[in-house]
Structure 1
Amino acid sequence: MSHIFITGAAGFVGQRLCQLLDSRGFQVTAAVRHAGTAPPSAAAECVLGDLTRQPPLIPALRSVDAVVHLAGRAHQVSRPSSDEQARFTAANCTVTRHLAQQAAAAGVKRFIFVSTIKVLGEQTNARPPFNDDDHADPVGAYACSKWAAELALRQVATATGMERVILRPPLLYGAGAKANLRRLANWIQRGYPLPFAAVDNRRNLLSVNNFCDLIATCLTHPAAAGECFVVADHPPLSTPDLIRALAAALNCPARLWAVPIPLLRGLGYLSGQTAQIRRLCESLEVDGSRVQRQLDWQPPMTFDAELTALAADVINTAVLSKQ
């Protein structure tokens, strides 16, 4: 049995990963901030604490074979604050360096860091899909902090001999998804007209369950050591096609209407939604074929199944909110 230490275990990915690894016979230690946020997996031992305070973790890591570092400050779509970069750096880079150093000192063999596709850029409008040969080109505090965290982990791994694996996922979807995707699903369910019919983009997504399956593969596969992989599962979709697919899963009409893209961007600016509109209009394609070849990994979940799970979650939440 392998012993796995998971940070961010109470989050969207972390809860599912704890359950998956438990079902496969791994011993799981879940790092969470508060006892009330412990993952649902009954077999998981919990370690409580705020990683941004850089607590001593070597005692908790001594029997651990691998660390999966999911915790961090999430991407924000609100207007930036004056100390935004410092906050992201502290939560994403400084914590990663400290955790990696503690893990190496405790004798942990492998460290998996979940970064973001955004370290390669914000869009692929006039270029091929992002792939593993692309150079980093982060934009904004979040992406820059994740890139700095990658560099910090590489330095620790090189100095200590600890194996590292870096994963760069795009937007994750599935039951429990939050932020923009959840907001879009809510708009569709409520019958709002959506002004995106004229958008002609291509964006890759990644199922949260497929991502957890890949992380589990990376924990033990010899060919994952020392690698940095971009990840995607199914072919890219345009925003209108995603809306239609979500509407079908929700059993709702897709109320799409065409607004010229410049006008759409202008409305986004005036409403303080520039970043959200940009992501709905621009392309972000990911070529995740190398990780599939190198690790002989295939996504176990289909797009339709995961979208159906997301739709069911949206419907159940709406029903509960009315009770």
Structure 2
Amino acid sequence: MNVLITGASGFVGQMLISHLQMAEKFSLTLFSRKRVAKINDNIHQIIVNDIFSAEIPDHTDIVLHLAGRAHILNDNTANPLSEFRKVNVEGTLKLAKQALKKKVKRFIFMSSIGVNGSVTLQQPFTEDALPQPHADYAVSKLEAEHELKKLFAGSETELVIIRPPLVYAAHAPGNFARLLKLVATNLPLPFAATDNKRSFVALENLVDFIQVCIEHPNAANQTFLVSDKTSISTRELVQYLKQGMGKPAHFIYIPQPLMRLGAACIGKSKLYEQLFESLEVDTTKAQNLLGWTAPLTTPQAMLQVGQNYLKIKE
């Protein structure tokens, strides 16, 4: 099976390559801005400056589109939504039109749980829930989903959309990297009163799910929410990471209304939401339709992340 992976040098892309290499039944072609190290000699790498200059090779069976413009901290562009649309919508659509022309069997698009929204109040998100994106990045991902569905409707190319929540590992970028750095200190953290429920997906679990979506016939023309089996509170998250690092967890009690007010005063309401509010994902569809369950439990994966983070820092 000939598989093309865009964004191959990224956080998810590199782990996915390692995972598919071990399966020994895929012929891989990689699109990335820089060369990927530690890969088999028979993997074909193509360096592309951007998605607009990429050309899908003939005889490609599967396109795994991981590349895109992701969350940008301190984005100073005049129109951030326009920049997200250029890459995540227009770039994706250009690639998809090539896939249609080349008769690619399946196009797998990596979207985001942000399409559903940023907070769950009473019920976990499902694939049938009304999309409520609250950030420019998520808006662009939802628009890309709509355009892909219109493009591939009635064609022989099957579309699979995957919406993961935060993907974590010891070398994860962004806010999770900042959290790991904080957890590695001996500072007491203000999560004693935190009883929220958040869904995450371990990097290993996500790439396992992607492989299932490559091969399983029931994945055709479906949208899936994917996460670890168990939702946990921020307090439990810190406890698991601390345990993996061999450190005791120290918490202090600060009432959440006070935390919310303080975060708003310093312009960190989004950070408060990510740490103290709930965001749960229902993966029943993936379990029932594809027979998929996460290989790693949340405690297993979090403990492993804590251990690996210390090794990386040595």
TM bracket, shorter-chain basis: over 0.9
- The answer to whether the aligner puts 1:33 opposite 2:33 as a matched pair is yes
- Which residue number in structure 2 is paired with residue 289 of structure 1? 284
Alignment length, in residue pairs? 312
Residues 11-50 of structure 1 correspond to what in structure 2 (within 5 A)?
Answer: 11-25=10-24, 26-35=26-35, 38-42=36-40, 43-50=42-49
- The answer to whether the aligner puts 1:89 opposite 2:85 as a matched pair is yes
- Which residue number in structure 1 is paired with residue 206 of structure 2? 211
Inter-partner Cα distance in structure 1 for 2:106 and 2:116? 24
* Secondary structure in 2 matching 1:87: helix
Letter in 2 for 1:312: Q
- Which residue number in structure 2 is paired with residue 106 of structure 1? 102
Select 2:258's aligned residue among 260, 263, 269: 263
* Secondary structure in 2 matching 1:46: strand
Inter-partner Cα distance in structure 2 for 1:122 and 1:39? 35
Tell me the CA shift for residue 245 of structure 1.
Answer: 1.2
- The answer to whether the aligner puts 1:169 opposite 2:164 as a matched pair is yes
- Which residue number in structure 1 is paired with residue 249 of structure 2? 254
Residues 1-323 of structure 1 correspond to what in structure 2 (within 5 A)?
Answer: 2-25=1-24, 26-35=26-35, 38-42=36-40, 43-52=42-51, 54-58=52-56, 60=57, 62-78=58-74, 81-125=77-121, 127-158=122-153, 160-319=155-314
* Secondary structure in 2 matching 1:4: strand
Which of 296-305 and 12-21 deviates more?
296-305
Contact in 2 for aligned 1:56/1:102 (Cα 8 Å): no
Inter-partner Cα distance in structure 2 for 1:55 and 1:76? 23
Change over 3 Å in CA distance of 1:159–1:55 after alignment to 2: farther
* Secondary structure in 2 matching 1:135: coil
Tell me the CA shift for residue 231 of structure 1.
Answer: 1.1
Letter in 2 for 1:41: I
Letter in 1 for 2:30: A
Change over 3 Å in CA distance of 1:241–1:135 after alignment to 2: same
* Secondary structure in 2 matching 1:6: strand
Which of 288-297 and 150-159 deviates more?
150-159
Cα deviation, 1:15-51, whole Å, max 9, x if unaligned, reads 111111111121111110123xx15322421111123
Change over 3 Å in CA distance of 1:275–1:79 after alignment to 2: farther
Which of 155-164 and 88-97 deviates more?
155-164
TM-score normalised by structure 1 residue count: 0.92
Cα deviation, 1:167-207, whole Å, max 9, x if unaligned, reads 11111112322222222221121112211211221001111
Change over 3 Å in CA distance of 1:302–1:14 after alignment to 2: same
TM-score normalised by structure 2 residue count: 0.94
Which of 266-275 and 162-171 deviates more?
266-275
Tell me the CA shift for residue 77 of structure 1.
Answer: 4.6
Contact in 1 for aligned 2:54/2:95 (Cα 8 Å): no
Letter in 1 for 2:28: V
What 5-or-longer segments of structure 1 have no aligned partner?
none
Q: Alignment RMSD, CA only? A: 1.7
* Secondary structure in 1 matching 2:167: strand
Inter-partner Cα distance in structure 1 for 2:27 and 2:152? 24
What 5-or-longer segments of structure 2 have no aligned partner?
none
Change over 3 Å in CA distance of 1:97–1:80 after alignment to 2: same
Tell me the CA shift for residue 161 of structure 1.
Answer: 2.9
- Stretches of 4+ aligned residues off by more than 4 angstroms: none
Tell me the CA shift for residue 269 of structure 1.
Answer: 3.0
Q: Indicate the percent of aligned positions where both proteins have the same amino acid.
A: 35
